[in-house]
Every structure is written in C-alpha cells, then in structure tokens.
Structure 1
Amino acid sequence: MEVLRKRPTGKGPAEWFTGDVWFDVIHAGTEPSRMRVNVVRFAPCSRTAWHRHAVGQTLHVTEGIGLVQSRGGEIVVMWPGDTVRTPPGEWHWHGAAPDHFMAHLAMWEGVGEADVPETEWGALVTDEEYHAHPAVG
C-alpha cells in the first residue's frame, strides 16, 4: 500500500484554459497503471480549450453547473451527478456556466507510448462559441 500525500493545487495554464481554473491531481498513474484523475474547479465563464484525448475522457460533475460541447454538436448543460464520456479522438471543451462555479472529476488514461500524446490541445474556445449555449437557470 502507498499513501500519496496531496500535491499543491495547480492553476490551469492560459494555453489550455480561459478564465480561472484550478486543479488537484488525484492520481497520475504509475506504470502499469495509466489512469489519470484530476479534480478541476472552474470559475463562472471559465473553460478548457478545444482538446481531445487519445483514449477518451470521462467527466463527473460534483458541484455547480457546467457546459460541454463536442465539435459540431450542441452545447449541453451538465448538472451535479452527471457523467459525460467523450470517445477517443473526439474534439471537445467543457467549463462552468456563465453565472455558476463548476467542479468535476476528469478521468482519462495515458497511452503508454512516449511518442503519442494522451491529450492534444487546440485553440481556445472563443467567447462567441461559448455564449452559443442554452439558457441556464
């Protein structure tokens, strides 16, 4: 058994996030495990850039109200208790609704190959893209 002490909370880098986003690494996966788990906290209007994961990603909303969109799809409102699965290679973004904080568990797997990125980051989500969402109560 190994007890892993909490690491310092990290600020989401501006290349990957718009607004104030903070994350805590829960598990970084040591071979043979490839599991990755972060708690990610988003301030209102903050969000990820477009990105995709080689092996997919699962999000589980723990508090607040969030938004998620796959490229070419509708923006979907996420509520506490909702779990969202994006398949391998699907471009998407996620973040907080305009007037709400949101926190989720982000879970994904590494690929086990040093030359293959587990996450590929694209352009930041524009304000126009972000504000094309449905009304949130």
Structure 2
Amino acid sequence: MNQSNELHESIIFPKGAKADQDHFVGAAWAETLISDAGTFNCMVWNVTFEPGARNNWHRHPGGQILLVTGGRGYYQGEGQPARELHAGDVVKIQPDVKHWHGAAPDSWFTHLAIGTNPLKGGAEWLEPLPDADYRNLK
C-alpha cells in the first residue's frame, strides 16, 4: 500500500479546502469541525499536510491543543527542539507560545487543531520556518 492510500484510509474527518498559502510552506488542507466559540469556548479544525508542508511560526493568545490522527510530523515551540509526532500524540501549547507544526519530509500528516479560549483572539501568523532549519530536523 502506498503512503497516499494509507493517509486516505487514516483520515476520519473531511480533508477540507486548501489552506491559505500565506501561512504555509507546501500544500495543506483544513476543515472546520467546530466553529461556535461562544458556546463551546473552543474551535476545532482537521488539518492535513502533504509531505514537507508546514505552517509558519505563529502563536495563539488562548492556547492550542493538537491531537495527531495520522502520518508523521513535527511540533516545535520557540527555543525548544522539534518533537516528532505520530498518530495518538497530544500536544498542549500554552497561550502565546510561538510555534510551528507540520509534516515530515517523507510523510503526510494530519491532526485536529483545537483553538482554546478563542475569544482571547485569533492566531498571530509570523515568519516561515527557514528551509535550512526544517532540513536539519532529526
């Protein structure tokens, strides 16, 4: 079975629409699953990255939680080493922590992104992770 078929079989939520290229390197897709922040105090997206794709550095004033559902990828908080992620991993990102996340160079990657306390404000998008830094991940 090839990796594309494995990803397709592991996606349990809709893949969604192609994400805004202003905030990503490579192709990514996002589907909003929960958008009623006033009632639930969270927003939830299913995000899928092609191999090598990742989002720019960014921060969330209310924090974020990632629930990895498929593939292999990375999360890195500013000043910390990158952490390799696999299906079943959970990442709790404290409010205002500058970070990025995305696929490994050789793997699709999908996760649920939970925006916690969204009434504190939306994501602040910053610069892309330099390609050289991404290529040096272990």
TM-score by length of 2: 0.84
Q: Residue 3 of structure 1 corresponds to which residue in structure 2? A: none
> Is 1:47 the equivalent of 2:54?
yes
Q: How does 1:69-88 map to 2 (within 5 A)?
A: 69-88=76-95
> Percent identity of the aligned residues?
33
Q: Deviations over 1:85-122 (max 9, x none)?
A: 1100000000000100010000012442xxx6321110
Query: Larger % of helix: which?
Result: 2
> Is 1:97 the equivalent of 2:104?
yes
Q: Residue 24 of structure 1 corresponds to which residue in structure 2? A: 31
CA pair 92-30 structure 1, distance change in 2 beyond 3 A: closer
For structure 2, which runs of at least 5 residues remain unmatched after alignment?
1-12
Contact 1:75 1:132 (C-alpha < 8 Å) held by counterparts:
no
Q: Residue 33 of structure 1 corresponds to which residue in structure 2? A: 40
Return the offset for 1:129.
1.8
> Is 1:125 the equivalent of 2:129?
yes
CA distance in 2, matches of 1:133, 1:32: 39
TM-score by length of 1: 0.85
Contact 2:78 2:98 (C-alpha < 8 Å) held by counterparts:
yes
Q: Deviations over 1:11-33 (max 9, x none)?
A: 11111111010011100125233
CA pair 127-40 structure 1, distance change in 2 beyond 3 A: same
Q: Which amino acid aligns with 2:130?
A: T
- Root mean square deviation of aligned Cα: 1.8
CA distance in 2, matches of 1:46, 1:128: 14
CA distance in 2, matches of 1:94, 1:8: 17
Q: Which amino acid aligns with 1:62?
A: T
Return the offset for 1:7.
8.6
Contact 2:16 2:30 (C-alpha < 8 Å) held by counterparts:
yes
CA distance in 2, matches of 1:62, 1:7: 12
Contact 2:15 2:29 (C-alpha < 8 Å) held by counterparts:
no
